[in-house]
Amino acid sequence: MPEPVDSWWARRQRSKGTAVPYEVGRFRADWERYPVLIRQFHPDLNYGVALTQVPPAADVWLLWQCDVGHAFIATPWEQRQRPGTSRRRSTWCPECAAGATARVIRQEPRTARPAAPAPPVRPARPLCRRSDAYRHGEGDAFASVCAPVRASAVEGDLHHRLASRLEFTEGMNAVRIRQPFFEHLEVWPDIVLPELRVAIEYDSTGRDGLEHVGKREPVDLRKDRLLRAVDWEVIRIRAGKLQPLGPHDLQASTVSERLIDRVLDELRDIRGHLFVDCYLR
């Protein structure tokens, strides 16, 4: 049966043979989970006994005072069980709990929102009528009338040096792809090696320093993806300070025989040295 706090404290003094049976802070860890009870407990109302000196399971009457000022008597067990699952402060005080009323939350009737307009459908870009790529199978190399004429002397030098070291079918300037690349079902690498199914690109920033940089790089990457989708591989020779875009790209400052050696080594890594060496001159 619970007993008043002064009687309980005196009995604990006698049983333990000391003036302070429980040191201040002895049960702090047990009461830290109840911050509201810490505020409600006042040692001056309980003969100077601190809450951290009271075991949570002690069968003793304690005097509590809520935030509003209501004073009431309850055991530690009763106070710890009082809130239940509620977080309202009124549930920690019997008088506040009796006068508290549940709030009614009014819910406005939901009205159907108008459906968002469908985004405009971008019309498909028509394919070039001059191209005869549709006559070829995916991944086939062919001569296209739409391919631009080689205008760079450096690309011509690269083509000449590579042709003097490696045999491949001349005259092919396009590869049939699976999805349209702008208005064409074909792409035009700088050098097409049909036997090895490898496309070689020579990238430089051009006279104005705007080629193959900035927004041009995503276009180059898309072109490479379309080629790889039809089982081709790409070697990009990146001139100047251009960084590699793919796993087989090479950086070079000039076109030289040393660069051709590096291209041949990269071809061996892609298709195997036995296969590539069969086409060496």
Q: What is the pLDDT of residues 100-149, one digit of tens each?
A: 555 555 666 666 677 777 777 666 678 898 999 989 999 999 999 999 98
141 C-beta neighbours (distance < 10 Å), count: 23
- Nearest Cα neighbor of 136 from 225, 230, 234 is 230
pLDDT at 85: 45
- Pairwise CA distance, residues 276 & 242, whole Å: 28
This prediction's pTM: 0.56
One-letter amino acid at 104 equals V
Burial of 79 from C-beta contacts in 10 A (0-12 / 13-18 / 19+): buried
Q: How many CA atoms lie within 13 A of 119 on its CB side?
A: 3
Average pLDDT, the chain: 87
Q: List 236's β-bridge partners, or say none.
A: 201
- Pairwise CA distance, residues 257 & 240, whole Å: 17
One-letter amino acid at 92 equals W
- Write out residues in the chain with pLDDT < 50, as ranges: 84-85, 87
Q: List 203's β-bridge partners, or say none.
A: 238
